[in-house]
Structure 1
């Protein structure tokens, strides 16, 4: 009888817990649906409004369609953010919107790469042609924040705040010592002395080749940073260099003395100034509209018979479907094919923001670009990074647009095969045995070191893939294989250098690339269509909720060390030959 009641109560508890889980899921779906409907509503903009521009939120390639993004659900993103496409359109529209009197720029620590930030800067510079003011205020400006704020007519800093201006640094993390301690040998095969993705696992410091290229590209990024600020603030570039090199901005007053800011003010003083600019009296409240809401009013225009397709290739490259933040070869190649077969689409722009990934998946996408180029113009626009596999998928385009601070190139391949024998046998006491019908039947096994014959086979495969990579770039860029090989070898380049050596054609924005596609297609009025379709947010949430919850708690547990965990996880998960950025580029 005891067991009967025990099982009865256990069943009842399970039943009620299931009801609770189902109830929570239903509530999430309903709230998400309501939130989604609200996201589709246009926003009324009152006269004499201030456009509030929050640039601390994530700036992604496209605005996420995630109704759960701002809900307190474990595993959901903290913020939805805004897409660069919508942000640029909204700023452009505000330029000619009589209801918008000025922009109030709020930025402390932007969540975007420097090429993306330059796109936003240029859009704000264009906005100023309307003779409308941009006012920037923050309690703290990081270097990225100041890069954006430097375009403002007036930059204000809190009297007790801080402005970071110290130069760029790039730090790499090496795992060789850790791997040795746990008994793991990372077996490396690569093509290209600059293909340094493998170095953190076999060295304890940067190689001379890697130090050379990191020095060059960090210096190039810094040069663009200083040059753009110098022009906006009317301060000599050399003066800015000295200010940063000698760390002269230590107190808020220093920022004012060196004309980095226009005033030290509190928030209430800024609000009073905004009232004056927007034509409001002291007793009236400021009329404002948030950029995320304002962007909901974005509309497409042009002749619907003439269309330009923008294909978003964002994230690491892998086989299969991928998602909005990972390039799946099936999903992207299908989108390119769909655009190619649509007679109303006159040209295609492939927007690449990727550090690379699977060499095979990159080739699948490259093939669709080649086929499409035979029928209609294809223009590539590179974002923050389009390196290795990211460059591979865009190299066949008719023309390649980059920002001066885009990271690109890295033409090379590598393979990582971990050997866990020492860890398993000597540390844990685990041994392996088995049978095979051929001497290479267990090639790529991770419980023993590779044989000389296996290394020879894998090296030959890498050489073949690298030769194909170089050939594809040479054909696309109309250069000799020998020349591409001389600038390849895994070498990373910034946008300005890429144009000089022929890996890219022009320094230009995302919109410049779209307009170039229209000119090449000989059309003036056109409508922009975006591919692939954004993944249904509810399906994405349900499919990925377990992984998101695991990620959430892992981040909570590891804190700043989460990036190290990610790097190790990527290496273990990377199977097959990789065409990937040689390192995680983190500029501080």
Structure 2
């Protein structure tokens, strides 16, 4: 009887999928593919709305739109480069977020805005307030780069510094009988501290205060440059707040007070008669990524998110968190190597790290590119720390924003022992194992035995030494020097430059220029851009999500017991969320922002 109802349910669900969901999805793509791209109005004002957040890179998942995915930093930069030379684009309106933005993204957006403004086109930024915590100073930095910065009359200017909070679970775990049995290499590898401590350790406090100060000072320096002041004057003025909107204007922190509708009217007036506002996201979609021109090409290889082994993109065909799958990313690099037109590779990395095995697989592809005579330039995004630095370390050249979070050359790992905690609720956990003494090393029923800890500690040391060796070789630094600046410590891009961990401050634009130089292509010679990995088709996305071949994806949604089929049931388990591989040890940095 149970199987009968499961079969009936499967048939019903299959009908829904076949008759409703899939046709809607495919019709959407058919309409999008069949519609001609509308011409940009003769007098266009682009509107960049940053209030809903922004990723580092555009998704390669064709279903990402259904997950509410918005713009990426690279899409904005690319669109503004095209808009600089587009005669129909007359200006730019920016809607600033109240709660802040990732500092490295703010750096790259600011650079794009400054270049757009230098083309002679006006930029108005409008704010409905700057919150008193988080990275609101980065939002203000973007606004300060505009031709005019407006603020709503009821808003408050409360960006008086940079703040972050860390949650420590050490006392709670102790109280409820959970043991966080972890090791770290070394004292600055702070990602594990939230499980083992109740407060900042001296090393944690030292490192975090240092990078926060660096981010704050960098933002103030950019504001001072754009507002034609000095960092000292801006610092004193900002820290004397908070201010009302009128006080902020009186002190020269903003230029005008008004509603967003008034700001829209002002930028349209400056754009000329008949000006229309067009969302930058729509403009970017209509234009597409820059293709460039010329016989030679530069490959742009993207990687954003935690680094894991395997392949896959999103586990769900309707979106999911960004991840760097080692098979996919390595394959993208090898595809660029085999493309005869590609003369150099720009590898965009935005990752806090992850699996050392996955990181090494990707780094091997980077080495292969160099061995094939194709220079590799890494462009670091919001984060390129721990495993993110591992995969970057042996590139020919590394470019990072002043506010990029990088370094964190270290490793941590361990397990949670929860048997005692569960026992307090009447749940008894017991374990059995056969084989060697390490077979149950990661069992949550008991701490590491002395023998297991010795073996695990040795593996941690090996991974750390491997990491040191990769950096020493790639950066041409003595291993002892790398050990001095490693120990798991996080650095900003500005701090990493004098340490020799990166080569240049800048964004994707600067990375492309350097790639052309290393490939011995004349600076004034146009090049094409080839993006890897390529955007998957809807059927390819479905096939990956459901674990079948592309040709079989069409048949998967046919009627008849879909939900009762064991493979389909496994699919439903998979699409509940991304599957992270448990490696025992990870090269992963803490992400305080």
Q: What residue is the counterpart of 1:263 in the other structure?
A: 256
**Whole-Å Cα distance in 1 between the matches of residues 27 and 411 of structure 2?**
46
- The correspondence for 2:583, drawn from 575, 578, 583, is 575
**Whole-Å Cα distance in 1 between the matches of residues 396 and 72 of structure 2?**
26
**Whole-Å Cα distance in 2 between the matches of residues 577 and 101 of structure 1?**
53
Q: What residue is the counterpart of 2:71 in the other structure?
A: 82
Q: Do the aligned partners of 1:401 and 1:508 also contact (CA within 8 Å) in 2?
A: yes
Moved more, 96-105 or 485-494: 96-105
Q: What residue is the counterpart of 1:384 in the other structure?
A: 382
Deviation at 1:350, TM superposition (A): 1.0
Q: What residue is the counterpart of 2:535 in the other structure?
A: 534
Q: Do the aligned partners of 1:60 and 1:112 also contact (CA within 8 Å) in 2?
A: no
Structure 1, unmatched stretches of 5+, are 71-75, 552-565
Deviation at 1:574, TM superposition (A): 4.0
**Aligned length, in residue pairs:** 551
SS in 2 for 1:60: coil
Q: For residues 12 and 61 of structure 1, do their structure 2 counterparts lie closer, same or farther at Cα, with a shift above 3 Å needed?
A: closer
**Whole-Å Cα distance in 2 between the matches of residues 83 and 538 of structure 1?**
24
Q: What residue is the counterpart of 1:33 in the other structure?
A: 29
Q: For residues 18 and 365 of structure 1, do their structure 2 counterparts lie closer, same or farther at Cα, with a shift above 3 Å needed?
A: closer
Listed one character per residue, the Cα deviations across residues 181-203 of structure 1 (whole Å, up to 9, x for unaligned) are 33221111222111111111111
Q: Does 1:369 align with 2:366?
A: yes
Q: Do the aligned partners of 1:410 and 1:491 also contact (CA within 8 Å) in 2?
A: yes
Q: Do the aligned partners of 1:399 and 1:504 also contact (CA within 8 Å) in 2?
A: yes
Q: For residues 508 and 447 of structure 1, do their structure 2 counterparts lie closer, same or farther at Cα, with a shift above 3 Å needed?
A: same
- The correspondence for 2:159, drawn from 157, 165, 188, is 165
Q: What residue is the counterpart of 1:55 in the other structure?
A: 50
SS in 1 for 2:128: strand
Correspondence 1:75-474 to 2 at 5 A: 76-78=66-68, 80-109=69-98, 112-142=101-131, 143=136, 144-249=138-243, 251-280=244-273, 286-295=275-284, 296-298=286-288, 300-323=290-313, 325-375=322-372, 376-425=374-423, 427-432=425-430, 434=432, 436-474=434-472
Listed one character per residue, the Cα deviations across residues 294-344 of structure 1 (whole Å, up to 9, x for unaligned) are 222246455553111111111101100142721111111111112112222
Q: For residues 448 and 220 of structure 1, do their structure 2 counterparts lie closer, same or farther at Cα, with a shift above 3 Å needed?
A: same
**Whole-Å Cα distance in 2 between the matches of residues 455 and 89 of structure 1?**
50
Q: Do the aligned partners of 2:62 and 2:535 also contact (CA within 8 Å) in 1?
A: no
Q: What residue is the counterpart of 1:562 in the other structure?
A: none
**Whole-Å Cα distance in 2 between the matches of residues 104 and 311 of structure 1?**
30
SS in 2 for 1:438: coil
SS in 1 for 2:116: helix
Listed one character per residue, the Cα deviations across residues 169-190 of structure 1 (whole Å, up to 9, x for unaligned) are 1211111223223322111122
Q: RCO higher in 1 or 2 (8 Å CA, sep ≥ 6)?
A: 2
Q: Do the aligned partners of 2:472 and 2:479 also contact (CA within 8 Å) in 1?
A: yes
Deviation at 1:426, TM superposition (A): 5.1
**Whole-Å Cα distance in 1 between the matches of residues 5 and 477 of structure 2?**
75
Q: What residue is the counterpart of 1:584 in the other structure?
A: 591
Listed one character per residue, the Cα deviations across residues 113-167 of structure 1 (whole Å, up to 9, x for unaligned) are 2112211111111111222211122333452432211111111112122333121
Q: For residues 116 and 13 of structure 1, do their structure 2 counterparts lie closer, same or farther at Cα, with a shift above 3 Å needed?
A: closer
Correspondence 1:509-524 to 2 at 5 A: 509-523=507-521, 524=525
Q: For residues 194 and 17 of structure 1, do their structure 2 counterparts lie closer, same or farther at Cα, with a shift above 3 Å needed?
A: closer
Q: TM-score, normalised by structure 2?
A: 0.86
Q: What residue is the counterpart of 1:73 in the other structure?
A: none
Q: TM-score, normalised by structure 1?
A: 0.86
Q: What residue is the counterpart of 1:563 in the other structure?
A: none
Q: Do the aligned partners of 1:329 and 1:365 also contact (CA within 8 Å) in 2?
A: yes
**Whole-Å Cα distance in 2 between the matches of residues 210 and 529 of structure 1?**
41
Q: Do the aligned partners of 1:65 and 1:537 also contact (CA within 8 Å) in 2?
A: no
Q: Do the aligned partners of 1:32 and 1:67 also contact (CA within 8 Å) in 2?
A: no
Moved more, 110-119 or 180-189: 110-119
SS in 1 for 2:471: helix
Q: For residues 442 and 248 of structure 1, do their structure 2 counterparts lie closer, same or farther at Cα, with a shift above 3 Å needed?
A: closer
Deviation at 1:273, TM superposition (A): 2.1
- The correspondence for 1:43, drawn from 24, 33, 38, is 38
Structure 2, unmatched stretches of 5+, are 315-321, 547-570
Deviation at 1:385, TM superposition (A): 0.7
**Whole-Å Cα distance in 1 between the matches of residues 541 and 95 of structure 2?**
31
Deviation at 1:95, TM superposition (A): 1.6
**Whole-Å Cα distance in 2 between the matches of residues 214 and 122 of structure 1?**
26
Deviation at 1:446, TM superposition (A): 2.0
Q: What residue is the counterpart of 1:498 in the other structure?
A: 496
**Whole-Å Cα distance in 2 between the matches of residues 412 and 49 of structure 1?**
49
**Whole-Å Cα distance in 2 between the matches of residues 399 and 162 of structure 1?**
43
Listed one character per residue, the Cα deviations across residues 13-55 of structure 1 (whole Å, up to 9, x for unaligned) are 88656534543313432443245427x7433122222222222
**Whole-Å Cα distance in 2 between the matches of residues 510 and 212 of structure 1?**
31
**Whole-Å Cα distance in 1 between the matches of residues 197 and 31 of structure 2?**
50
Q: Do the aligned partners of 1:60 and 1:84 also contact (CA within 8 Å) in 2?
A: yes
**Whole-Å Cα distance in 2 between the matches of residues 315 and 9 of structure 1?**
41
Q: For residues 377 and 68 of structure 1, do their structure 2 counterparts lie closer, same or farther at Cα, with a shift above 3 Å needed?
A: closer
Deviation at 1:460, TM superposition (A): 0.8
